Structure 1
Amino acid sequence: MPRTVDGLDELTELAGTDLGYSAWREITQERVNTFADATDDHQWIHLDPERAASGPFGGTIAHGYLTLSLLIPMFNELLDIQGISMSVNYGLNKVRFPSPVLVGSKIRLHGKVDTVEAVKGNGVQMAFTFTIGIDGGDKPACVAEAVYRHYA
């Protein structure tokens, strides 16, 4: 169950809060193939299981940007924001992909609210550190510093 907050004041109180973990989510070959078609990124390390088996990762891997894109649905498992009129993805300060996600692996998101600051237009800007972990993995799949804006 996501944590629910209502309005800008409650969002502001989240500065420094650990939001916990999302549920585990399996990365399937079908999802990787669909992402490849959507983005025109058909590199063999993502789509050719036979060739990838003898490649550097021992199998096909998810696109880094596929892993990053799953931040949104997993983040929705951590935080439910009510009482605002609009939210926008303001950008990313930093993104790294320390470890590949092998097809068949499970990933989950850990979220932490770093800062919350007032912005012009009756809103707040929130900076988060998101870490996407791999079940049984030593290193995360993705670490991202994300920025969102929410308006009353």
Structure 2
Amino acid sequence: MTARLISSPAVLLDLVGETLGTSGWFPVAQSTVDGFAQVTHDHQWIHQSGPAADAGPFGGPVAHGFLTLSLLIPMLDGIFRVDGVSAVVNKGVDRLRFTTPVPAGGRIRATAALASARSRPRNFTETVLSVRVDVEGKPKPAYTVDVLMLYQGVATAAER
């Protein structure tokens, strides 16, 4: 799958309301869950492979919600790319809701729509991406979130 190419941050202003695309499926291996637990010191039994998780409410180990959120950036990179930028800054998230657990060994994918875009000082374009992350084989998403990003356009000779 090839990411959609957007020629400059200014073009984002014309794409408001459009679905930018859907990423390919992204695997969430148990080894990734274990590594995230190690880094974050979150070793709750529902994330660990073994009899406790197997007998638990999800029938096996599940990924940490914040692990699946951290995988959003590579999924967005698979959806679109903005050329003509000198910097991309993640401003944060709004309206994050985890709705379906992601089983360890499962796969997720993101669909992103451009909810808003506006010009900001210093050649920045501020965007809000409305994102739904689906779990393969599940009717409800793993989560929905609005992602706030800043794209700084490369200054032209006249702007420097």
Whether the TM-score (by the shorter chain) exceeds 0.5 is yes
| Residue of structure 1 equivalent to 2:100 | 99
User: How far off is 1:99 after superposition?
Assistant: 0.6
| Residue of structure 1 equivalent to 2:134 | 133
User: How far off is 1:8 after superposition?
Assistant: 2.4
Structure 1 stretches lacking a partner, 5+ long? none
| Residue of structure 2 equivalent to 1:66 | 67
User: How far off is 1:144 after superposition?
Assistant: 0.6
TM-score using structure 2 length = 0.91
Q: Which amino acid aligns with 1:32?
A: V
User: How far off is 1:11 after superposition?
Assistant: 2.0
User: How far off is 1:25 after superposition?
Assistant: 1.5
CA RMSD of aligned residues (A): 1.0
TM-score using structure 1 length = 0.96
- The within-5 A match list for 1:3-152 is 3-152=4-153
Structure 2 stretches lacking a partner, 5+ long? 154-160
Q: Which amino acid aligns with 1:121?
A: R
Instruction: Determine the C-alpha separation between the residues in 2 that align with 1:21 and 1:27.
Output: 17
Aligned residues, how many? 152
Contact 2:10 2:125 in 1 (8 A): no
Q: Larger C-alpha radius of gyration, 1 or 2?
A: 2
Q: Which amino acid aligns with 2:148?
A: V
Give per-residue Cα distances to partners, 1:92-151, cap 9 Å, x unaligned.
111010010011211111111100011122211100111110111011001011100111
Q: Which amino acid aligns with 2:35?
A: T
Runs of 4 or more above 4 Å deviation: none
Q: Which amino acid aligns with 2:120?
A: V
